[in-house]
């Protein structure tokens, strides 16, 4: 008798959080708010915004870095190697102090 | 020169001129871009929350709560945007190799930022006096959360600018050591542009 009551109470306690979660439903479930509920529209717009935001923000950051990289790469000088036979041939030294 | 003569010449190794290897993008700029990206995601989440409350509410703002002061905030927005001019001029001067007047320009930007925060604080005090508090409604809670979060960022940026102004005054901000100013400029631009977006979402 008591074992059966305890088992039923335990079952109810275990199912209670699930029932509460089911009642709250999912934010993305369009049918949970009814046909003309403004919350449905609100969640839709918010989901669209939050879906676009990461792509926009990270895309802007990557674009910014690409532009900075190209500007920086164009300013870089090519490595110059001064060859001894070019100096002997009378070429203008790269460093004016060496002249 | 014969082959034997060329072989008899003493061997001279080619002299390599040391080339300064600087990355195309300074590491400091990459760091601040990453930081700004994370901050932008934080505010995107806050705006997403705000949109849910705003669109789902039958009346927004609620009828029994005071309206936000739009004219004062527009003027305050222009003041904040005006603060971009001195810091931009300071960075350009430093890139040209001129270090004169940096402290004054950075101090001007910081002072304008302080003015912005002060006006915001005065408006907040007036709104609280009229009953719009963080606990009065979702409207007040989201308003103070988003605008307050931005105000914290402005205060942090102002402190940063003041430190840079002090360093410039001491002559420790030079064309060779301008990474701090580059980072602060990116951050200050982010704070100003973010405010324009928040103003459009929250106030209008």
User: How many Å lie between the alpha carbon of A19 and the closest alpha carbon of chain B?
Assistant: 25
Assess whether pLDDT exceeds 80 at residue A59: yes
Angle between helices B70-82 and B102-129 (to 10 degrees): 170
Residue with tokens 């789902």: B56
Distance of alpha carbon A21 from alpha carbon A10, whole angstroms:
18
Task: Check residue B4 and give its pLDDT.
Answer: 56
Residues B109, B87 contacting (CB under 8 angstroms): yes
User: At A99, is the pLDDT very low, low, confident or very high (cuts 50, 70, 90)?
Assistant: very low
Long-range contacts at B87-96 (CB < 8 A, ≥ 24 apart): B87/B161, B87/B184, B87/B185, B87/B188, B88/B185, B90/B168, B90/B181, B91/B178, B91/B181, B91/B182, B91/B185, B94/B173, B94/B174, B94/B175, B94/B178, B94/B181, B95/B175, B95/B178
Mark yes or no for CB contact A38/B55 under 8 Å. Answer: yes
Residue with tokens 């100003």: B192
Which chain A residues are Cβ-neighbours of B23 within 8 angstroms? 72
Judged by average pLDDT, the poorest of A2-6, A77-81, B25-29, B120-124 is A77-81
Nearest residue in chain A measured CA to CA from B39 = A57
What number of C-beta contacts closer than 8 Å exist between A and B?
83
User: A81 - beta bridge partners?
Assistant: B16
Distance of alpha carbon B147 from alpha carbon B183, whole angstroms:
23
Residue spans of chain B under pLDDT 70 = 1-21
User: At A16, is the pLDDT very low, low, confident or very high (cuts 50, 70, 90)?
Assistant: confident
Residue B174 backbone phi and psi in degrees, to 5? -125, 165
Assess whether pLDDT exceeds 60 at residue A52: yes
Tell me the whole-structure pTM to 2 decimals.
0.75
């Amino acid at each position: 008798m008591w074992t059966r009551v305890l088992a039923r109470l335990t079952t109810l306690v275990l199912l209670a959080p699930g029932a509460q979660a089911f009642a709250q439903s999912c934010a993305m479930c369009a049918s949970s708010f009814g046909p003309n509920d403004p919350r449905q529209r609100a969640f839709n717009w918010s989901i669209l915004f939050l879906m676009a935001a990461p792509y926009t923000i990270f895309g802007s950051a990557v674009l910014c870095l690409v532009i900075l990289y190209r500007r920086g790469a164009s300013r870089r000088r090519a490595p110059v190697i001064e060859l001894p036979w070019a100096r002997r041939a009378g070429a203008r030294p790269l460093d004016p102090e060496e002249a | 020169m014969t082959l034997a003569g060329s072989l008899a010449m003493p061997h001279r190794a080619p002299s390599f001129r040391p080339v300064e290897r600087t990355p195309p993008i300074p590491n400091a700029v990459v760091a601040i871009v990453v930081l700004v990206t994370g901050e932008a995601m934080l505010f995107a989440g806050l705006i997403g929350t705000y949109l849910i409350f705003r669109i789902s509410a039958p009346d927004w703002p609620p009828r029994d709560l005071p309206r936000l002061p739009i004219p004062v905030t527009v003027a305050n927005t222009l003041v904040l945007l005006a603060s971009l001019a001195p810091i931009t001029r300071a960075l350009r001067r430093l890139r040209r190799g001129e270090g004169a007047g940096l402290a004054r320009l950075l101090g001007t930007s910081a002072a304008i930022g302080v003015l912005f925060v002060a006006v915001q604080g005065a408006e907040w005090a007036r709104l609280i006096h009229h009953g719009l508090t963080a606990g009065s409604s979702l409207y007040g809670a989201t308003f103070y959360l988003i605008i307050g979060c931005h105000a914290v960022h402005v205060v942090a940026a102002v402190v940063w600018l003041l430190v840079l102004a002090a360093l410039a005054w001491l002559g420790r901000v030079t064309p060779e050591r301008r990474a701090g100013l580059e980072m602060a400029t990116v951050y200050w631009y982010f704070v100003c542009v973010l405010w324009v977006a928040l103003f459009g979402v929250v106030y209008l």
